[in-house]
Amino acid sequence: MTPFKNKLQLLQRLATGCACLVLYSLTCLQRPPTESIQVWNDSDTQTFSLELEDASTLCVTNYYGGAIIYGHNSSSIRIELRRYVESTDRARLSSMLNNIRFISQIYNDTLFVLIRAPISAGYSVYSSSMNIFIPYDLPLRVKGAKSTVIVSELDSLVTLRNVAGPIQIDQHRGSIDVLSEEPIQIALASLEGNQWITARSDSQDVFFKFPVNSNATFTAQSFFFPIDLINVELETSRTPLYRVDGVIGNGEARVDISTHRGTITIMAE
């Protein structure tokens, strides 16, 4: 066989291979898209009424969602629990809802309220949220939550830990102890007497608003950003952290705010 014929056969093989590759590619492109997976969902709402009995503190845990806690003029506690599930198996939805359980128990002087559910996996999703109405003066502790926690119109000590979502405290007249890696927003209805505020965020912003006619001693520090003061006169410094120190009124109450990688805004209104 001559060299010319060898080259001709080689070119023919290459052409045949390229044609097969192009035909395969066109066939793949013309295939219908994979059928989308149908996901079903269901939800319901349950209501619970609880008496404090000998308890003097409420502790809330919801690792499947968030919570909104309101102060109300009553000696009892009312809880609205919304349960939500998703699954590719429609027949499982009812049993999945029933697997999200509300648990309450008094231990020592604390009423514990928590939600239990299986761990979400694959196309099975469990989530819940709570609206909680408690006496204005009842101390509150949130031990953990998966998303946003809002506290409104309480006169008591509020302690928040392990909240994997933004924190908002509005119209508050008591003390606050917040440690979080999420944004913190606090708006006080009063700041005086023996109130004390501690708000620390590891990596997010802290916004703090208080009435103009307050009495408090302030300490705030930010690692990377200057502290923004709105309608407030406090001494600022860099040591090397950005710091704010000062006294408003007679300085009775105590405010301690800090963030590592976020910003701080302090506002009087």
Domain spans of the chain, in order of start: 36-147, 166-269
Distance in angstroms (rounded) separating the CA atoms of residues 25 and 167: 52
Residue 9 has pLDDT above 70, yes or no: no
Give the helix ranges, DSSP H, for the chain. 3-30, 93-98
Residue 120 has pLDDT above 70, yes or no: yes
- Torsion region of 122: left, alpha or beta (phi above 0 gives left; psi -120 to 50 gives alpha): left
The phi and psi torsions of 138 (rounded to 5 degrees) equal: -85, 120
- Write out pLDDT tens, residues 175-201: 999 999 999 999 999 999 999 999 999
Q: Is 231 exposed, middle or buried (0-12, 13-18, 19+ CB in 10 A)?
A: exposed
Least confident of 10-24, 72-86, 158-172: 10-24
pLDDT interval class at 35 (50, 70, 90): low
Q: How high is the pLDDT of residue 36?
A: 77
Rounded (5°) CA angle 246-249-253: 75
Q: How high is the pLDDT of residue 123?
A: 85
* In contact, 264 and 227? CB cutoff 8 Å: yes
Give me the amino acid identity at 203: S
Residue 140 has pLDDT above 50, yes or no: yes
Residue 240 has pLDDT above 60, yes or no: yes
